[in-house]
A and B are shown apart, each in its own frame.
Chain A
C-alpha cells in the first residue's frame, strides 16, 4: 500500500478504503464470471454492484445461450455460428471475438451445468437447444424462458464459494488513474451514503447497457450507461456507439408495462407476427441480403420448424433489426393493433401444454400484467430499446481496453455483435468474455507491481461533486430531467433517425447536461433514490451524446442504426468503426468539443474464415 493511501486516510477520515488486485464493477453474468475467473487465478477480488446480488439485468434474460453444441443438429459447429454472428452484425463485428465466442460458448455452457444449472433436455438426455432469429440451427441452451435467472443464480452460488468480497448496493462514481493507468475506483454505498475507495491494480467493467436513456425500454433502472461513461472519462476509447438494438417484441399495453420484453423464443417456438389484417407481414420485408436463407411461403416457413434441412427459416426469425423495422413500418402504415403494436400469435399454432412448458414466464407476465391468456389469444407487441452494440473497445483475447489496467466484458464492451446482435449471443458473450476479462485482469494485476498512486485532492473533489445535488439550491427534479432525456432520445435518436432530429437532440443534450449538474435531491445520504437518480443522470447524458454524435457521422443505414435520410447501406462506411475519446474536464459538465470522433478500419479476417462467406457455402 503506497504512501498516497495513508495520506488519503488522514485527509478524508470518513472514506472507507480497501485494496484489491482486481475490482469488478457489475454483478450480472459478465461481472460474476469475471470475478470467478480472477479469484480462481489467485487475485484478491472485489465485486461492486448497484443492486443486491442476483438482481442484475441478466436475471431478465429469457431465451437462452447461443452455443454450437450440436445437440439437436449435429451439423452445427462453431464455423456456422461464427458465420451467423458476422452476418447478423452486418459484417461489422470484430472477427476474432466472433470466432472466440463461437468456439468457446459450448464449453462455458457445459461448465454452467457442472456448477448446477438445470437446462431443459433433449429426448436423449442432452442439453436442449431452441431456435432463435438469425441462427442457422436450433442453438440456444435454455431453461424454459428464464435462462438469465438460471445463469445468474448458478454464477452467484459459484462466486459464493470463493473469497471474493462483494460490495452490494454500491455505485461507482469515478475510475481513478495514475499516469495513464488504472489505480482505483471511487464508489459510495447507496444504503448509507458512505464513500468507499477501492485501490485496484486492474478493473473489469461489466456494467451492462444504457436502456434507461429511452422511454420505451426493456431495461431496469440500473441501465444508465455508468460503465460507458466511466471508461470514456477515464481515457478509454468507445466504439460503434450509434448501434442500438430495438428488440422487435416488447409489451405495448397496459402503458405501465410498455417495453417489457417478450422473448424471441415465442417466435423460435412457432409464434408468428401478424398485422391488423391478419397478414403474416414479415414475408413482405425479406431483405435481399437474407433472401437466400429465408422461407418465401407460409408453408415452407411452417415446415421449417419440423425439418430445418429441407426448409428455410421463417422471416419472423430474421435478425432483430430487420423485424423491428418491419413492425415499425406496419404500425406507421396504420396496420397496427389497437394499442399501437402488432400481433404475436402462438395460441393458434401450438398447444396450451406446449406453451406452458416452453414459455411459463411469458404466460404469467401477460396473464398477470395485461389480462391476456397467451394460450388462447394473440399478444400485442412493438419495438423496445433493448441493447447497445457499441461500447468500450477491447482486445479480443483479454478484454483489455485502451487504458492500461482497465478491462471490459459483456454489454459495456464492443466488438462481438457488430451493427446488430443476434438473440442468444449476449448470454454467450457474458460467459466467454467475462471469463477472458477476469483472466486478463488477474494476469495484468499479477505483473503490475505496486498499485498506482491515488490523488487525495482528486478524491475530495469527486466526493464534493457527488454530494452537490443534496445541497444545490433551486435545482430541478432529477426524475423529471430523466423523463425529459428519455423522451428526447426516444423521439430523436430512436429506431429511425434523421439529420435534423439528431442535430436537435445534440443541442438539447447540452442544455440537459448543464441542468443535470444543477439537479436538486432533497433528503440525506441514506438510501436516497433522488440523489442516486441525479448522479446516474450524468452518465446517461454523456452516453446519449455519444450515441447521437456517432449517429450523425454514420450516413447510411445498417443494423441497429437506421437513417431515414440515408436509407441504404454504404459499402465504404461498412468498413469503418467510429471511435470516441474524451477531451473534456474530468468532472463536471462537458464542453462543446469534449467528444473526439475518429475512425478506424474494420479489421479484415484471415482468408480461411473469409472463405466461409463465399457464395454457395450454403445458408
Chain B
C-alpha cells in the first residue's frame, strides 16, 4: 500500500510464531521502502515490534542459504525476494520450512541434512605422480561446478514431497540436495569411487519420481533433476537393472554382479 504524499509504503505480514509444541500466525504491519527484500521487513519487525522474533540469516546476498522460508506458500530465500513482487493489500504470509521440525518462529531444525550428509562416500581422488598435479579440462570441471553452486538452503529438501509428506521416508531417502552431492562426486573428473550401490541402498535414489519441484525452487539455478538425479538414476539402472547384465550374471552365476541380494 503506497502513501501518495510520502512515497513510503506499508505491508501487512502474517508471520508464524511458535515452537515445537505450538504456534500460530501473528500479524504485523511495518513500513518498507523501494528496493527492499522480505528479509528487510522481517528485520524491521524484529527491530521495532518483536525483538525476540527468531530468524536465521547471514550474508543477505543469496550466497549462504540461511534465510529459507515459505513466502505465500512458496519456498524462497527471504534475502533474494523483492517486496516489489507482491503488489497488493492482503497480508504476506511467512512460514518456516514445513519439512523440518519447528524450532522457533521462522527457524527450523535442519539437522536431518547434516546427519545424512555422511551417507555419501567422499571423493576418492586418483593418484598423481609426486610433484605433479591434476590436469583437468574446462568442459569436465564445468559439469560438476554446476552442482558446487549449491548453497545448502535446503529449499529443494523442503519442497520434495517424498520428504515433505511422509516423515518415515527420511529414514530411506536423503533428498535432492544429497543426490546433487552424489552427482558432483560421481562426475568429478578425478574421482575413482563407484557409489551406485550406495545410491540405491543408502541414499534411496529410486524414491525420487522426477516431479522436478526441487529444480523449480533452487535459488542457485541448478538443474537438479535433469543434470544430477536422472543421470544418477541411469547409472544405478545400468548397474542393477540392465537386462543383458542380468542374463550374463545368471549364466555365470556370479553372486557379486547383477542385482544385490
Q: List A residues 476-529 near B (Cβ within 8 Å).
A: 477-480, 483, 521-524, 526-529
Closest partner residue, chain B, to A368 (CB atom) = B80
CB contact between A52 and one of B56, B118, B138 (< 8 Å): that residue? B56
Q: List B residues 32-54 near A (Cβ within 8 Å).
A: 33-37, 40, 46-47, 51-54
A124: interface (CB < 8 Å): yes
CB contact between A479 and one of B47, B62, B133, B150 (< 8 Å): that residue? B47
Instruction: Assess the A55–B65 pair: CB atoms within 8 A.
Output: yes
Given A59-B59, A121-B136, A531-B52, A115 contacting B123 (CB threshold 8 A): yes
Given A54-B152, A220-B60, A477 contacting B51 (CB threshold 8 A): yes
Instruction: Assess the A121–B133 pair: CB atoms within 8 A.
Output: no
CB distance from A506 to the nearest CB of B (A): 27
Enumerate chain B residues within 8 angstroms of A146, measured Cβ to Cβ. Answer: 63, 149
Which of B140-148, B157-165, B200-208, B232-240 interfaces with chain A?
B140-148
Instruction: Assess the B66–A52 pair: CB atoms within 8 A.
Output: yes
A interface size (C-beta, 8 A)? 68
CB distance from A40 to the nearest CB of B (A): 15
Question: Interface digits, A121-157 against B, CB 8 Å rule (1 contact, 0 not)?
Answer: 1011111000000000000000110101110010001
Which of A31-39, A254-262, A420-428, A557-565 interfaces with chain B?
A254-262
Question: Interface digits, A514-557 against B, CB 8 Å rule (1 contact, 0 not)?
Answer: 00000001111011111101000000000000000000000000
B58: interface (CB < 8 Å): yes
Enumerate chain B residues within 8 angstroms of A522, measured Cβ to Cβ. Answer: 51-52
Classify the interface of chain B: helix, strand, loop or mixed. Answer: loop
CB contact between B145 and one of A113, A115, A118, A222 (< 8 Å): that residue? A118
Q: Which of B46, B63, B184 is most buried by chain A, counting CB atoms within 10 A of its CB? A: B63
Which of B86-94, B100-108, B168-176, B243-251 interfaces with chain A?
B100-108
Instruction: Assess the B148–A121 pair: CB atoms within 8 A.
Output: no
Instruction: Assess the A51–B66 pair: CB atoms within 8 A.
Output: yes
Instruction: Assess the B135–A124 pair: CB atoms within 8 A.
Output: yes
B110: interface (CB < 8 Å): yes
Instruction: Assess the A55–B58 pair: CB atoms within 8 A.
Output: yes
Q: List B residues 62-90 near A (Cβ within 8 Å).
A: 62-66, 80, 82
Enumerate chain B residues within 8 angstroms of A531, measured Cβ to Cβ. Answer: 52
Q: Which of B61, B82, B117 is most buried by chain A, counting CB atoms within 10 A of its CB? A: B61
Instruction: Assess the A527–B58 pair: CB atoms within 8 A.
Output: no
Q: List A residues 141-175 near B (Cβ within 8 Å).
A: 143-144, 146, 148-150, 153, 157-158, 160-161, 168
Could you tell me the distance between the alpha carbons of A400 and B242 in the complex, rounded to whole angstroms?
59
Could you tell me the distance between the alpha carbons of A113 and B191 in the complex, rounded to whole angstroms?
11
Instruction: Assess the B33–A256 pair: CB atoms within 8 A.
Output: yes
Q: How large is the interface on B (under 10, 10 to 19, 20 to 34, 35 or more residues)?
A: 35 or more
CB distance from B94 to the nearest CB of A (A): 15
Enumerate chain B residues within 8 angstroms of A328, measured Cβ to Cβ. Answer: none
Could you tell me the distance between the alpha carbons of A156 and B133 in the complex, rounded to whole angstroms?
23
Could you tell me the distance between the alpha carbons of A508 and B117 in the complex, rounded to whole angstroms?
48
Could you tell me the distance between the alpha carbons of A88 and B187 in the complex, rounded to whole angstroms?
40
Instruction: Assess the A60–B80 pair: CB atoms within 8 A.
Output: no
A306: interface (CB < 8 Å): no
B55: interface (CB < 8 Å): yes
Given A118-B148, A126-B133, A530 contacting B51 (CB threshold 8 A): yes
Q: List A residues 347-402 near B (Cβ within 8 Å).
A: 361, 364-365, 368-370
B24: interface (CB < 8 Å): no
Could you tell me the distance between the alpha carbons of A380 and B114 in the complex, rounded to whole angstroms?
39
Closest partner residue, chain B, to A59 (CB atom) = B64
Closest partner residue, chain B, to A261 (CB atom) = B61
Q: Which of A60, A125, A260 is most buried by chain B, counting CB atoms within 10 A of its CB? A: A125
Instruction: Assess the A161–B122 pair: CB atoms within 8 A.
Output: yes
A221: interface (CB < 8 Å): yes
Instruction: Assess the A361–B63 pair: CB atoms within 8 A.
Output: yes
Instruction: Assess the A526–B148 pair: CB atoms within 8 A.
Output: no
CB contact between B188 and one of A116, A119, A477 (< 8 Å): that residue? A116
CB contact between A222 and one of B51, B58, B63 (< 8 Å): that residue? B58
Given A59-B59, A529-B55, A116 contacting B66 (CB threshold 8 A): no
Given A121-B136, A153-B148, A368 contacting B51 (CB threshold 8 A): no
Instruction: Assess the A60–B141 pair: CB atoms within 8 A.
Output: no
Could you tell me the distance between the alpha carbons of A528 and B138 in the complex, rounded to whole angstroms?
46
21 A–B contacts, CB within 8 A, in A order: A54-B64, A55-B59, A55-B65, A57-B58, A59-B58, A118-B144, A124-B135, A125-B134, A126-B135, A144-B145, A146-B63, A146-B149, A148-B63, A149-B149, A157-B122, A160-B118, A220-B60, A256-B33, A260-B60, A479-B47, A529-B53
Q: Chain A interface (Cβ within 8 Å of chain B)?
A: 51-57, 59-60, 110, 113-116, 118-121, 123-127, 143-144, 146, 148-150, 153, 157-158, 160-161, 168, 191, 220-222, 253-257, 260-261, 361, 364-365, 368-370, 477-480, 483, 521-524, 526-531, 533
